[in-house]
Amino acid sequence: MTWQIDGSRARLTAGDLAGEFDLPNPIGGVIKFEVSGHAFNTGQFLAVRVPHRPQNDPPVETYIRGADLIVKYPPRHSDLVSHYVYYSALSEPSGLGLILSAQTSLLNSVPQTEVFSSFGPGELLVKLVDDEECKRVPDTVDYDQTRPPQFFLMRPASANISLVLFVHPQDFVAATVGPAPSVSYRVFPNSLEKGVIRRVLFRLSAVPRKGDDAAASALLEKAVQAAPPLAT
């Protein structure tokens, strides 16, 4: 079993990976996330926050395809932007993938969206473009395209794993690290017109603590080299 829909909840069980997603509440992200024997019970993972969309906006379509949970949300009243959310169960290493897709039926819309992840106690590090090593992230900091982060590393206080978080480099616009261990990516900053589909790809994977920076670099390189997703 990978994903199972139970009423308004979608539950994930795949090897050493488990989680739960509240279908009417995408801004909650994946909750009760467990990977490689460590349970993250206080965080939010790859939560989709769309401005001007009601918090509990029931999806118009939900289905499971292989290891993917696919959810379509109704057009936003302000500019008719609709979103598809694809959560994938990843293996080798275990983790979550997210493809977020936006489209509209109008000639001009603004699809700006935020993808937010928060973590429990631990150390958050970042690997910036042109930096040779990961560095600890200040409590609050903004990143933009002048010197973008390649990936973030979250080292939980009570586990021998690290979480690797990144957006595909071609999709990066801006990111903010909050006062708690959290990362917020801003995507889709430009106008969107009818007939155009925009997509962004995120990865959140667990790797062994030892050599986690090298493992993170390898995962990023693999994502960059992979063929673009065909999903809408």
Domains of the chain: 3-225 (2.70.98.10)
| pLDDT for the residue 229 | 63
> What are the residue ranges in the chain where pLDDT is below 70?
54-55, 78-79, 228-232
Reduce the DSSP state of residue 145 to 3 states and report it.
coil
Mean pLDDT across the chain, nearest whole number?
89
The answer to whether 163 and 206 have CB atoms below 8 angstroms apart is: yes
Q: How wide is the angle at C-alpha 27 spanned by C-alphas 200 and 22, nearest 5°?
A: 105
What pTM was computed for the model?
Answer: 0.92
Tens digits of per-residue pLDDT, 136-148?
998 889 999 998 9
Q: What is the pLDDT of residue 163?
A: 96
| Structure confidence at residue 188 (pLDDT) | 87
In whole angstroms, give the CA distance from residue 129 to residue 166: 13
| Residue partners of 3: CB distance under 8 A and separation at least 6 | 10, 11, 12, 64, 67, 68, 69, 87, 89
Q: Identify the pLDDT of residue 232.
A: 47
pLDDT of residue 52: 72
What number of other Cβ atoms are within 10 A of residue 221's Cβ?
11
